[in-house]
Amino acid sequence: MKLHYGVKDLTAIDIMSFLPLILPILIIELILLLIALIDLYRNRKTRKNVFLWTLVIVFVNTIGPILYFVIGRKDRDGR
């Protein structure tokens, strides 16, 4: 059993075999991102920290949109 792998070993990995596992996760992540950005844009007048939430949604990958839906939707001026 090898304990250390080199660059030559990494080139032997078939990335296309991982595609059926990775593609659904990427699609779900993209859908979450788009829905969160659309909701933030539609309610931008009632939300606080719109720019900050945009950065969190875009740059914190999967957790960012989830945080927005859990925490950010409660962040309104009137409530």
Cα separation, 20 vs 31, in Å, equals 17
pLDDT above 90 covers a percentage of the chain that reads 33
Each residue of 56-77: pLDDT tens digit?
999 998 889 988 888 887 765 5
pLDDT at position 54: 92
What SS3 class is residue 3? coil
Mean pLDDT of 19-24: 89
Residue 2 has pLDDT above 70, yes or no: no
Residues 6+ apart with CB under 8 A from 36: 57, 64, 65, 68, 69
Cα separation, 36 vs 71, in Å, equals 12
Residues 6+ apart with CB under 8 A from 73: 39
Largest CA distance in the chain: 62
